[in-house]
Amino acid sequence: MNGKIKTIEDLSLNAWPSHQIQYYDGWLLRFSYFYTHRTNSVEQVGTSTIPREQKIRYCEEEYAKWGTPAIFKITPLIDSSFDDLLEARGYVIEHRTIVMVRDGLPDLGNDTSGRFGTVRHREYGGVRLTCSAFIPDAWIDALFALKNTTNIMHRAVVPSMYRAIPKETLCIQVRDGKRFIGTGLGILDRNFVGVYAIHVHPDYRRKGIARQIVSMILEEAAHRGITGAYLQVVSDNEPAKNLYRGLGFREFYEYWFRVR
């Protein structure tokens, strides 16, 4: 189990680069002007040689220079004594997240020829879903609008973070006429597709569009020979978890962040 958890943690690091990354004695200090917890936290990826208390103080000082609190990501791969140490230092839990996985993708029969570099369309309920192998500027603008992102620094640096994704992407755009009403992103790495950025405009929710977005990502990944999928969802988001369960995903492990 730990081996697969480590694989997915590695894949998620590739899938969502930070604006800045500092490597410190087996720890990654990630910073992106507090756009998300994942891209603004400390992740343990290697062997440590420096005492943990000294390293925690160092991280606190470095994040203070960046103008944000130090945040530590806690996964099942980290010894529980470290989580206890953070709690004793006044750190509290924020943003519990469930990682869900799907073993096997849609059966496409003999059609696994791959369609790299193509643009594909699907009509559903009067809207059009488009899948492309690149992330256009309009998609990023639409994502900002759907998430109500107005922070000037976020709007300046986040596009470069998406451009820095080192893996092939499956970018889903959903439009009602000219109106951009939904997004999705699949990121292909090794034998997995990571499902990210599933957003639908409030006026179009509960109409099956999110299901169509995820299904299109899975099918396009299957055409490329991918056989597994993973995604991350906030622990208390029951509607989203029910959606993903209906698409064949199961809960695999939980992680959270410690913040003081």
Q: Where are the domains of the chain?
A: 2-100, 105-226
pLDDT tens string, the chain, 260 residues long: the values are 789 999 999 999 999 999 999 999 999 999 999 888 999 999 999 999 999 999 999 999 999 999 999 999 999 999 999 999 999 999 999 999 999 999 999 876 555 444 545 678 999 999 999 999 999 999 999 999 999 999 999 999 999 999 999 999 999 999 999 999 999 999 999 999 999 999 999 999 999 999 999 999 999 999 999 999 999 999 999 999 999 999 999 999 999 999 98
Q: Output the pLDDT for position 247.
A: 97
Give residue 108's pLDDT: 64
pLDDT recorded at residue 106: 81
Round to whole Å and give the CA distance between 95 and 234: 7
* pTM score: 0.93
CB 162 within 8 Å of CB 206: no
Domain 105-226 has CATH 3.20.20.210: no
Closest among 114, 113, 120, 125 to 181, alpha carbons compared: 125
CA-angle at 252, arms to 250 and 254, nearest 5° = 125
* Beta-strand runs (E) in the chain: 20-24, 27-31, 42-44, 71-74, 92-103, 120-124, 127-132, 169-176, 179-189, 192-200, 228-234, 250-259
